Chain A
Amino acid sequence: MQTALPKETERLVADPAPGISASPHEDNLRYFDVVIEGPSGSPFQNGKFKLELFLPEEYPMAPPKVRFLTKIYHPNIDKLGRICLDILKDKWSPALQIRTVLLSIQALLSSPNPDDPLATDVAKHYKEDEKDAQRVSREWTEKYAV
């Protein structure tokens, strides 16, 4: 478990997924600064979203902790940047990796799920008027995710 960490980190830093970068803090190798580019075709396109990721002591038996530091208008991400994604909770498996988690978060930007919301006001907006909600998401992306 222990030896798995630096190797995984090494791979992650050396071979990041497209549109994703992650670098560990020098003074805490379990704590990462992450940048995810908004997927093209989504309202988050061209945005650079900052996140922070921490591997708890129980990792990989417990999932990483991740949150957005950049403000984002998305039904499954709340005001404090907390993310509602099942693989970060009850669907976590030790076979998953940081890379998979970050790709899943990137995928979540492409496919918001307002039926299972964390930010209820944003979800309501998405359900009632998706076009208008996407306009706000684009505005926030241009304003905050630069």
Chain B
Amino acid sequence: MSAKGALSPARTTNAQANVCHSLPPSSSAACNRNRHRPPPRPSHPPSTLNPIFKWSPLLPPRHHPPNKVPRNFRLLEELEKGEKGIGDGSCSYGLEDGDDILMSNWNGTIIGPGHTVHENRIYSLKIFCGPSYPDARPDVQFISRVNLPFVDQTNGKVDWTKLPVLANWSRNLSIENVLVEIRKEMASFNNRKLPQPPEGSTF
């Protein structure tokens, strides 16, 4: 790697600032960074207080600074994971527009599970991650026509109240989880034999 570090001598530290050609594979591995780290607790209630006020490990920390991965860095992690490919390739996703610095609009693809009416079908979806994602659930909408109990048959929108992964949304969940869960629903006992619209039709 060429030593392109251009720090002026006065500012140089022991690091040479070289550039390199690829993004780290490591960053996508960290999917559980939003665990809270308990803060130092300099101000425990003095022991002279009624013992009921004493901090106990059983109680949640009284001061709990957020240490959550911010939306954009979370979405960058998801993007890198999606670019590398997830699982067996039966679900995939990526940015709708590679220029979208806010990373709000995503495309998803689900390959219909085998031994069901969905076998060999390729379903396209749109996923919208709003400004409060991942604290807020994403909006999901089918582009490909599909008959499922949680999909609005007029516009393809997924009714989040009818899909557990969205109804019980938490910030630990991801676009990948949503697609994988939808695919599982396609293969469920109740849905695997539902009559389907013609292959390739769209909402």
Which residues in A have some Cβ–Cβ distance to B below 8 Å?
2-3, 17, 25, 27-31, 52, 54, 56-58, 65, 67, 69, 71, 76, 79-82, 84-87, 89-91, 93, 95-96, 100, 103-104, 107-108, 110-111, 113, 115-118
Contacts and interface: CB of A to CB of B under 8 A. Distances in A.
B75 to A, nearest CB: 9
Given A84-B21, A93-B15, 14 more contacts: A17-B11, A25-B70, A27-B66, A28-B70, A54-B69, A54-B70, A65-B76, A80-B98, A82-B76, A84-B22, A96-B13, A107-B7, A116-B18, A116-B19
Chain A facing B: main interface SS = loop
B76 A113 contact: no
Report the contact-size class of chain B (Cβ under 8 Å from the partner).
35 or more
B4 A91 contact: no
B17 A116 contact: no
B76 A2 contact: no
Contacts of A28: 66-68, 70
B2 A115 contact: yes
B32 to A, nearest CB: 9
Interface of B: 1-2, 4-8, 11, 13-24, 27, 30, 33, 35, 37, 39-40, 65-70, 72-73, 76, 79, 98-99, 101, 103
A57 to B, nearest CB: 5
